[in-house]
Amino acid sequence: MTKGPFPVRPRPDGGSGSSDPAIDRLYRDGRLVSMPTMKARNRALREMLLSHIARTRFEPDVIYTEGQVNRRLAAIFDDHVALRRYLVETGRLDRTRDGARYWLPGTEQSAEARHFGKSGDEQTLPNPALTQKLCQYGYNE
């Protein structure tokens, strides 16, 4: 018989990339397998999880197409559409009215993305100086 405390086995990493064990428990092999409910006792964990996902799946100052967002979220969760909605509803992702472009709040070009929210080439945004000039002359769209 061994005296003293039992050796502690390290818990397998769920692959969340988080140092928080509460978040890591929601992952298995790098995929989110459980979404905390909106009940009061789980609300804080859900908020932490959504912040973690926004921080780790998206870069600041990058504007993403809906397809890019879907692919990034589908890589970690089966219901990527619901996850995208949760991120938008909680203010962790902003988007254009038509849902064509997404970005992290505070992104430098977010105002331009909102202004030019029509579908098109989501990788290129208008030059800020040119945009300002065009708006002065009434070319808003």
Express each pLDDT in 34-68 by its tens digit: 898 888 888 999 999 999 999 999 999 899 999 99
Give 132's pLDDT tier (boundaries 50, 70, 90). Answer: low
Average pLDDT over residues 19-28: 89
Average pLDDT over residues 71-86: 96
Average pLDDT over residues 97-114: 77
Q: What is the phi-psi region of residue 30: left when phi exceeds 0, alpha when psi lies from -120 to 50, beta otherwise?
A: left
φ, ψ for residue 22 (rounded to 5)? -65, -40
- pLDDT recorded at residue 41: 82
In this structure, what token pair is assigned to residue 52?
């973690």
Tell me if 93 sits within 8 A of 69, measured CB to CB: yes
Least confident among 12-26, 45-59, 107-121: 107-121
pLDDT above 80 for 121: no
Reported pTM? 0.69
How much of the chain, in percent, has pLDDT values that exceed 70?
A: 67
**Average pLDDT score over the chain:** 78
Instruction: Let me know how long the chain is.
Output: 141
From residue 110, alpha-carbon distances to 49, 50, 73, 102, 126 in Å are 24, 20, 21, 9, 12
